[in-house]
Amino acid sequence: MERRHFLRSLAATGTAAGATATAGCAGVLGDSGDDGTILGPPEQNRGEPVHPIHGDEMPEFTVPDPIAGEEISTTQFEGERAFLWTSFYTNCPDGVCPALILRLRRAQEVAADPTGTNPKYPILPSWIREIIGPGPYSDEVAFLPTTFDPERDTTEALREYAAQQGVDLDAGNWHFLRPESYERAQELHDEHFGLKIEKTDGEQYENLEYAFPHYGLILLVNKRGIVERAYPRGPATDIERLVDDVQRVVTA
CA–CA separation, 142 vs 83, rounded Å? 4
- pTM higher than 0.75: yes
Helix runs in the chain, H state only: 3-13, 96-112, 126-132, 155-165, 182-193, 239-251
CA–CA separation, 93 vs 95, rounded Å? 6
Per-residue pLDDT in tens (0 to 9) along the chain, 252 residues: 443 343 334 333 333 333 322 222 222 223 456 668 888 888 665 666 678 999 999 999 999 999 999 999 999 999 999 999 999 999 999 899 999 999 999 999 999 988 766 555 455 565 665 565 546 999 999 999 999 999 999 999 999 999 999 999 999 999 999 999 999 999 999 999 999 999 999 888 888 999 998 889 999 999 999 999 999 989 999 999 999 999 999 988
CA–CA separation, 40 vs 17, rounded Å? 12
**Nearest to residue 59, comparing CAs of 77, 75, 82, 44?**
75
